[in-house]
Structure 1
Amino acid sequence: MDYTDLGFRQKQNLGLLLGVSLFFWISITVLLPTLPTYVEHLGGTKPEIGLIMGSFAVGSLFSRTLLGYLADTKSRKLVLYIGLIIATLSPLNYLIVQTIFPLAIVRAIHGISIAAFTTAYSALVIDFSPIKHRGRIIGYMSLVTPIGMSIGPVFGDLLKEHFGYITLFTVSGSCGLLGLLLVAAMRKESKLNYYDSSDTDNSNLSHSFHKILSSHSLIIPTLVLLLIGLLFGTIITFLPLFLEEKGLDFSAGLFYTLASITSFLSRIFLGRVADRFGRGLFITASILSYFSSMILLTQATGSQQLFLAAIFEGIGAGILMPMIIALVSDRSSPQERGQVYSVCLGGYDLGIALAGPIIGILGSQLSYQTIFTLSSNLALVAFILFISQSNRTIKTSLGFAMGKRKDLYYLEN
């Protein structure tokens, strides 16, 4: 990659952002395989576990609009601070609050951290990226996410098994604090791609919240993320319990780690070709990967199916989010980007938020295999939606989704 378009300050800030992202995702993901079992340890039922796990996304969902507005009109760095402060303090509250419904409130507050982090991080990466290298830099800057997510779950399992929940939650909070210190070291925000909100009345932003929701160019990526969020919410809520019930010699931490390693490898490949072949082909491939993962989970009776399911889930996760972020960046102007991210990524949050309680209620009546089968259908609907509605007409949508046509919604920023 040619970095000559980047100044020293941009390179320095991008490097610090990588470190911030690493600590943030470790902080979040040490709890992925452990929090459902912690709630069960406290006496939680399946619907209550679903409620608490889904509450994380509820907090994220309802805070995204405000956080996106702050990122556009005040400071991306301020929003990053908010996310990391919450990531530092929230894990300690899991130890203090040990009843189900107050715990759901704590989990919802914790969810604000991921809304703040992903909105500000994505916007800052775009701010520091020359337009012609945007997809490639997004791909490379997203590599640290699967690294953090591969370390976190296994680390979380080890901490829980050998040191207990007090140490687990303390380490989670400490990782948030380390990320906070790195943010403090960042220099003034770049103006490379950054819109200065003081130059223009905020009422003149191209897309208001309602306009974003009514824009065909942005609502389709949002709906795709909603459907995949429902699917992913099912995995993170019930995979640990499914493996525990079946007595399979395959931990949830190992599943998440394998998925994260595959996600990392797929993003290396993505960084090299993202700007050459367009966004549509990769989004299509990622949705089909999620579908394959869920089908394998429905058939899982041993380690082989789980291993393959983790690989396909990792491919889907590794490609989908960077490409959706690149796609909505292509389709939005710099001054609205924080708000666009907040709405589009909010679709993913909403899916996870709904998955917990809805699937939790169904889980009391259905087997886990049936639940995963329903989730595979969500990926199938997302695939049909994307190949038929991702562009101006069905014909151009199919061409874009197959990598044969350019994006007709692309804006020259």
Structure 2
Amino acid sequence: MQDSASVPTKSSSLSLWTKDFMLISLTNLAMFLGLQLLLPTLPVFVDHLGGNDSHVGMVIGIFTVSAMIIRPWAGFMLDTKEKRGILIGGLTLFIVSAIAYNWAEGIVFLLLMRFLHGLGWGACTTAAGTVAADVIPRPRMGEGMGYFGLATAISMAVAPAAGIFIINNYSFTHLFLISAALAFFALVFSLGIKYQNIIQAAANAPKPTLYEKSALRPSLVIFFVTTTFGSIVSFLVLYANQRGIDNIGPFFTIFALIMLISRPLSGILVDKRGYDIVVIPGLLLLVGAMLILAASHTMWMFLLAAAFYGLGFGSVQPSMQALAMRDAEPNRRGAVNSTFFSAFDLGIGGGAMVWGILAQFTGYSLMYAFASIPGILALLTYIMLGKPKRLD
């Protein structure tokens, strides 16, 4: 289906809360709710199927690797061909694979479905981020991405705990069907968006590419950040169980509630005061969170780590996404999102696999201590590669 033109008038050019922005934000929220139901519960499902820590890392990792594979192609298509089709196609793959998890009786089939799910996730999230960038006014990009990214915080506030509740009180079948239903709601929301036409670049303008070089700096920072996140989504539930905590759901709730507050505030602060005041403290908080996790034996220590990580991640992630998008030409936004989220995926997937192997030799506590190292590398990368100023 051909994308429709959406040209803002002068009086509305700086308006953020338009119909299209609200619809793409709702689409993003439903997508992330469907995903976050699965993040803390799939490791338990792997254990249910007879898998080990390495299998957990593979199940998390193959999802992010397949998402990373599809993102360059999706970004190129978003810049040159079609936006609606990429978003709807990705959501359709999400729905099909989530339903198919019900038929998994072994690790191999589960890995195949995770690969398919990752393809859908990579396509729909790259498309959603690009559509959001289309409808957010450039001077309000930090604020807009902060609100758009609230989908992650809101979904983490309810979905992980809800997922754990569902498998403890109902079944994995209920879990997978609810995840698929949420992706279906995302698809319904996406149908109401008035998509912008593909903007034809001037003859001397850079051509659309699979990756965007200008986004490499924030993408490298987010790669190190999400490497730490890979340890949380893959092994936190198993680590907490080892510490005698059967329901670690409140960790994700505190983490998400702190993010819910920090994301929009950090976006406004970035637009007004620049990136340093948000990013540097945020990265230090991430390092502190990993070290607290390594020493955690009680619920309150886990919750303290959640607060640190939520404030750090909620500050750094939308700031890096805004930095990646702020100077992008309209015909390069798909490539920017592809580059940024490929690094995001590679950090989670690569981290999950590395931490899974490491945990078998060191145990979870020491693994989380090592997981502070990528946070330090993210801080060094941000400082050494140059600290951007605010956009006037």
- TM-score scaled by length of structure 2: 0.91
CA contact 1:10–1:128 (8 Å) conserved in 2: no
Alpha-carbon contact 1:149-1:256 (below 8 Å) kept: yes
Instruction: Decide whether aligned partners of structure 1 residues 106 and 324 sit closer, same or farther in structure 2, where only a CA change above 3 A counts.
Output: same
Q: Is the Cα contact below 8 Å between 2:53 and 2:356 reproduced in 1? A: yes
Looking at structure 2, the residues matched to 86 and 315 of structure 1 have their Cα atoms a distance apart, in angstroms, of: 32
**2:223 is aligned with 1:226:** yes
Tell me how far 1:205 sits from its aligned partner. Answer: 3.1
Distance in 2, matches of 1:289 and 1:315, equals 7
Percent of residue pairs identical: 26
| Preserved CA contact (<8 Å) 2:80 2:208 | no
The answer to whether the aligner puts 1:248 opposite 2:245 as a matched pair is yes
Structure 1 pair 61/330, CA: closer, same or farther in 2 (3 Å)?
same
Query: Which residue does 1:51 correspond to in 2?
Result: 58
What is the aligned partner in structure 1 of residue 380 from structure 2?
384
Q: Distance in 2 between matches of 1:248 and 1:157?
A: 13
Alignment of 1:5-404 (within 5 A): 5-6=12-13, 11-187=18-194, 189-190=195-196, 196-197=199-200, 205-206=206-207, 208-209=209-210, 212=212, 215=213, 217-248=214-245, 251-389=247-385, 391=386, 397=387, 400=388
Deviation for aligned residue 1:337: 1.3
Name the residue aligned to 1:394: none
Measured on the aligned residues, the alpha-carbon RMSD in Å equals 2.3
User: What secondary structure does 1:350 align onto?
Assistant: helix
Amino acid at match of 1:196: I
Q: Deviations 1:58-82 (Å, cap 9, x if unpaired)?
A: 1111111001011111222222112
Amino acid aligned to 1:20: T
Single out whichever of 61-70 and 139-148 deviates more from structure 2.
139-148
Q: Provide the C-alpha distance between the structure 2 equivalents of 1:274 and 1:20, rounded to a whole number of angstroms.
A: 25
Q: 1:207 to 1:190 in 2, by over 3 A?
A: closer
Structure 1 distance, partners of 2:354, 2:148, is 34
Shift of 1:109: 1.6
Aligned residues: 383
Q: Which amino acid aligns with 2:33?
A: I
CA displacement at 1:375 relative to structure 2: 0.6
**Equivalent residue of 1:63, what SS?**
helix
CA contact (8 A) 2:138 2:326 kept: no
On the 8 A contact 1:6/1:129 being kept in 2, the answer is: no
Change (3 A) 1:176 1:209: closer
Shift of 1:102: 2.5
Contact persistence 2:61–2:352 (CA under 8 A):
yes
Q: SS of 1:364's equivalent?
A: helix
Partner secondary structure for residue 310 of structure 1? helix
Quote the offset at 1:299 in angstroms. Answer: 1.0
Q: Secondary structure at the match of 1:312?
A: helix
**1:377 offset after TM fit, Å?**
1.0
Q: Distance in 2 between matches of 1:331 and 1:11?
A: 22
Paired residue secondary structure (2:362): coil
Report if the CA contact (8 A) 2:167-2:175 is conserved. Answer: yes
Contact 1:72 1:339 in 2 (8 A): yes
How far did 1:388 drift? 1.4
Which residue in the other structure is 1:403 paired with? none
> What stretches of structure 2 of length at least 5 have no aligned partner?
1-9
Question: How high is the TM-score relative to the length of structure 1?
Answer: 0.87
Is contact 2:267–2:319 with CA below 8 Å preserved after alignment? no
- Aligned-residue offset at 1:7: 8.8
1:225/1:268 Cα in 2 relative to 1: closer, same or farther (>3 Å)?
Answer: closer
Contact 1:46 1:364 in 2 (8 A): yes
Does structure 1 conserve the Cα–Cα contact (< 8 Å) formed by 2:39 and 2:233? yes
